[in-house]
Chain A
């Protein structure tokens, strides 16, 4: 029988972590939610409760639809592409070919680069006159253009950079998942005459379902709230063609100083992210 002190000590062990969480995560989170219901403009000393005013202004305003389309386009395309590319590369690396350890290190290099530095680096790569990408494309007849300044390509240009930076993370997770699968099912399947495709679809992927769910979920949630790479490459432009919900939240907080409005946008982002993520997890982990 557990004594009362033993019960209490369980919570004492958790106390440092809970305190840390409360101060650095829960308090700012709660404060943001509170501010989202206020018209809070420090420069004008305005702090007025307006209920859902900020939410309705943004959701019913001109900016939300474009922001939402850009946000989801970015998140779905970067997550989907990084999963496909990551899976293919992980399958190759899982074969233990010669040079695999070196390839793993090289693949991790983009992940080690700060997003701001990556953005600046790629801005030069995209430059129509001195950039490598337009230069290479011009050899196959594609006219040189600055991708980040082209309304049709601006968002796509950011997707490419995001893929370059975060696909290694996907590769790592998927590779770890593959390497955790026991060999016996493969041996049995080969004996029964299964093809490579059947091995992949009937053994590898089902066995990795939870790994895939985690990898895709983390990547998707991260992509939904991406900001730094967008700001460095396009600042949401030209015009607003690559402006996402997080970019708008930044503009309203740090450039327009509308704290309450920005907090409301952030809360909307949290609701969207949480809702989609929960549904996603449920779908992927269903029996």
Chain B
């Protein structure tokens, strides 16, 4: 038997236990130190040196004081509502200005957590799908997810609560812009959320260049093509090869059903007909997306096939694009002189009509539902009502000086436009865009995101150069497979 070298000597039990004890002690000490040193998470202070400046420019009338001995909204004093919202300027405004007032009024504590969109959606889904009772009582849900969340009973039906306890001066369902309010009702008519933020689609263009080049906002898709072509050519002569006539989204995937599903509406096209039969590859849809692809290939930035809204918005803000077809909430960024090179130079017009004598449909709403399992559902609803109310929307704009263009309250739009006409001069056009948009283009089915995937992939392919018929045929087949597998008894109206 060979002798072991010194370094191969077996570790003694005492030494092993000593080392293990040291390791465990180290973990405990490290954990305690980390806990003690962990910074307390608080709402970011709003100071004049930051983007969100709180400058009180006026005093708004507080909500009407009820004469009831114990108002309904005071009956939940002492409860805490845990809400999760997007990390946006609108939410920060609400947290800074509205939450403290609400807490004083009701005695309900608001614990508001903010995070990015994808993480927020995944966290909410994980909580709701596993039947967990925490940590959130309410949170932001994209309107296209509402149906899928409501059907398994994950969301509180707000109708009974709202009808039984109307909050005078705060909740007025008729004050919400009808388009945004419609997104908050599921296919069975239930009120499943309240609209916190919303937009429709509009045409935004360089009015300074349009005046210079003798161009006017297009009324039809043929006009759009002509205006874009002229702007593209004249812009390149003046600014070089990095100037483009138009920019629109082209990214693949399920992130843009509110735009892609609505585009063919202007040609009379749909993704699904009234009986859920697949018509995504109808001649009208092919024409619509053939147009979409060609206008971007000819006059759009070369990266259009991967563009989401930030890239489109950046183009108009940097002055490298003449026009965009985008969301009505973009003026909040585009007209910010600290962030945009083209602030004050942008004109706003309605989307042009297509051959079907209607515009493309383009709309989005962030809904604010209350989760069904929440033990403080009534308190959570009160917070949603207060935070989405016309009063709060007005307050954040008029008193807080936040430039919010995703407002969902008609009275807030009117009041803000009257109080700050220099900022909200484009409000009439934006409101008109919202009025002429319907939500009928989006199928209200739980599988909407799943069918939006292949459809979005097709749009991206088309923008990248694939013929529209080829891409849409493939998408239609996949949509058909998805829906038949989900149990729908449907047909492909245009078989491949």
CA distance A128 to B152 in the complex (A): 46
Q: How far is the CB of B496 from chain A (nearest CB, A)?
A: 11
B363 within 8 A of A: no
B306 within 8 A of A: yes
A42-B130, A43-B129, A255-B253 as given contacts; A149 in contact with B306, CB under 8 Å:
yes
Is A148 a contact of B303 with CB atoms below 8 Å?
yes
A260 within 8 A of B: no
Q: Per-residue CB proximity of A80-100 to B under 8 Å, as 1/0?
A: 000000000000000000000
The residue of chain A having its C-beta at the shortest distance from the C-beta of B474 within the complex is: A62
Is B306 a contact of A235 with CB atoms below 8 Å?
yes
- What number of residue pairs across chains A and B have CB atoms under 8 A from each other? 102
Is A146 a contact of B464 with CB atoms below 8 Å?
no
Q: Per-residue CB proximity of A120-162 to B under 8 Å, as 1/0?
A: 0000001111000000000000001110111100000000000
A127-B303, A148-B303 as given contacts; A43 in contact with B148, CB under 8 Å:
yes
Partner of B252, one of A238, A254, A256: A238
Is B460 a contact of A144 with CB atoms below 8 Å?
no
Is B302 a contact of A128 with CB atoms below 8 Å?
yes
Count how many chain B residues have C-beta atoms less than 8 Å from C-beta atoms of the other chain.
42
A43-B148, A44-B152 as given contacts; A144 in contact with B302, CB under 8 Å:
yes
One of B377-385, B424-432, B449-457 contacting the partner:
B449-457
The residue of chain B having its C-beta at the shortest distance from the C-beta of A43 within the complex is: B148
CA distance A239 to B306 in the complex (A): 9
Is A237 a contact of B453 with CB atoms below 8 Å?
no
Partner of B457, one of A129, A151, A237: A237
B contact residues around A127 at 8 Å (CB): 303
Task: Give chain A interface residues in 163-194, CB to chain B under 8 Å.
Answer: none
CA distance A43 to B449 in the complex (A): 12
A225 within 8 A of B: no
The residue of chain A having its C-beta at the shortest distance from the C-beta of B464 within the complex is: A238
Is A146 a contact of B465 with CB atoms below 8 Å?
no
Q: How far is the CB of B153 from chain A (nearest CB, A)?
A: 9
Is B446 a contact of A237 with CB atoms below 8 Å?
no
Is B461 a contact of A239 with CB atoms below 8 Å?
yes
CA distance A146 to B302 in the complex (A): 6
B contact residues around A195 at 8 Å (CB): none
A283 within 8 A of B: no
B contact residues around A45 at 8 Å (CB): 152
A13 within 8 A of B: yes
CA distance A249 to B301 in the complex (A): 30
Task: Give chain A interface residues in 61-95, CB to chain B under 8 Å.
Answer: 62
CA distance A16 to B130 in the complex (A): 30
Task: Give chain B interface residues in 317-347, CB to chain A under 8 Å.
Answer: 320
Partner of A237, one of B148, B302, B460: B460
Is A42 a contact of B304 with CB atoms below 8 Å?
no
Q: How far is the CB of A161 from chain B (nearest CB, A)?
A: 14
Is B301 a contact of A235 with CB atoms below 8 Å?
no
A contact residues around B122 at 8 Å (CB): 254
Is B250 a contact of A145 with CB atoms below 8 Å?
no
Is A255 a contact of B306 with CB atoms below 8 Å?
no
Is A128 a contact of B303 with CB atoms below 8 Å?
yes
Partner of B464, one of A128, A150, A236, A254: A150
B436 within 8 A of A: no
The residue of chain A having its C-beta at the shortest distance from the C-beta of B130 within the complex is: A42
Is A238 a contact of B250 with CB atoms below 8 Å?
yes
Q: How far is the CB of A45 from chain B (nearest CB, A)?
A: 6
B contact residues around A234 at 8 Å (CB): 306
B491 within 8 A of A: no
Is B250 a contact of A43 with CB atoms below 8 Å?
no
Is A148 a contact of B306 with CB atoms below 8 Å?
yes
CA distance A234 to B302 in the complex (A): 14
B466 within 8 A of A: yes
A interface, how many residues as a size bin? 20 to 34
B149 within 8 A of A: yes
Q: How far is the CB of A77 from chain B (nearest CB, A)?
A: 21
CA distance A44 to B445 in the complex (A): 12
CA distance A255 to B453 in the complex (A): 9
Partner of B471, one of A13, A129, A144, A239: A239
The residue of chain A having its C-beta at the shortest distance from the C-beta of B24 within the complex is: A16
A42-B130, A239-B252 as given contacts; A146 in contact with B301, CB under 8 Å:
yes
Is B303 a contact of A146 with CB atoms below 8 Å?
yes
B271 within 8 A of A: no
Q: Per-residue CB proximity of A15-48 to B under 8 Å, as 1/0?
A: 0100000000000000000000000001111000
Is A151 a contact of B149 with CB atoms below 8 Å?
no
A56 within 8 A of B: no
Q: How far is the CB of B321 from chain A (nearest CB, A)?
A: 10
A contact residues around B478 at 8 Å (CB): 62
B97 within 8 A of A: no
B13 within 8 A of A: yes
Q: How far is the CB of B294 from chain A (nearest CB, A)?
A: 15
The residue of chain A having its C-beta at the shortest distance from the C-beta of B118 within the complex is: A254
A contact residues around B75 at 8 Å (CB): none
Is A237 a contact of B253 with CB atoms below 8 Å?
yes
Partner of B251, one of A144, A235, A258: A235
CA distance A255 to B254 in the complex (A): 8
A contact residues around B130 at 8 Å (CB): 42
A234-B306, A254-B122 as given contacts; A13 in contact with B252, CB under 8 Å:
no
B349 within 8 A of A: no
CA distance A283 to B443 in the complex (A): 54
CA distance A128 to B307 in the complex (A): 12
Is B457 a contact of A240 with CB atoms below 8 Å?
yes
A contact residues around B472 at 8 Å (CB): none
Partner of B253, one of A42, A149, A235, A258: A235
CA distance A13 to B466 in the complex (A): 61
CA distance A78 to B453 in the complex (A): 28
B contact residues around A238 at 8 Å (CB): 250, 252, 305-306, 460-461, 463-464
Task: Give chain B interface residues in 96-138, CB to chain A under 8 Å.
Answer: 118, 122, 125, 129-130
A43-B152, A148-B306, A149-B304 as given contacts; A257 in contact with B125, CB under 8 Å:
yes
CA distance A149 to B464 in the complex (A): 7
The residue of chain B having its C-beta at the shortest distance from the C-beta of A147 within the complex is: B303
A contact residues around B241 at 8 Å (CB): 144
Is B242 a contact of A129 with CB atoms below 8 Å?
yes
Additional A-B contact list (14), CB under 8 Å, known A43-B149, A237-B253 = A43-B152, A44-B446, A128-B302, A149-B302, A236-B252, A237-B460, A238-B461, A239-B457, A240-B252, A241-B464, A254-B118, A256-B450, A257-B125, A258-B450
B→A interface (CB under 8 Å) = 13, 16, 20, 118, 122, 125, 129-130, 148-149, 151-152, 241-242, 250-254, 301-307, 320, 446, 449-450, 453, 457-458, 460-461, 463-466, 471, 474, 478
A→B interface (CB under 8 Å) = 9, 13, 16, 42-45, 62, 126-129, 144-146, 148-151, 234-241, 251, 254-258
> Can you identify 7 A-B contacts, CB atoms within 8 angstroms?
A146-B301, A149-B307, A235-B251, A238-B250, A238-B461, A239-B457, A239-B461
Leading 6 A-B pairs by shortest Cβ distance: A146-B303, A239-B461, A42-B129, A238-B305, A237-B252, A238-B464
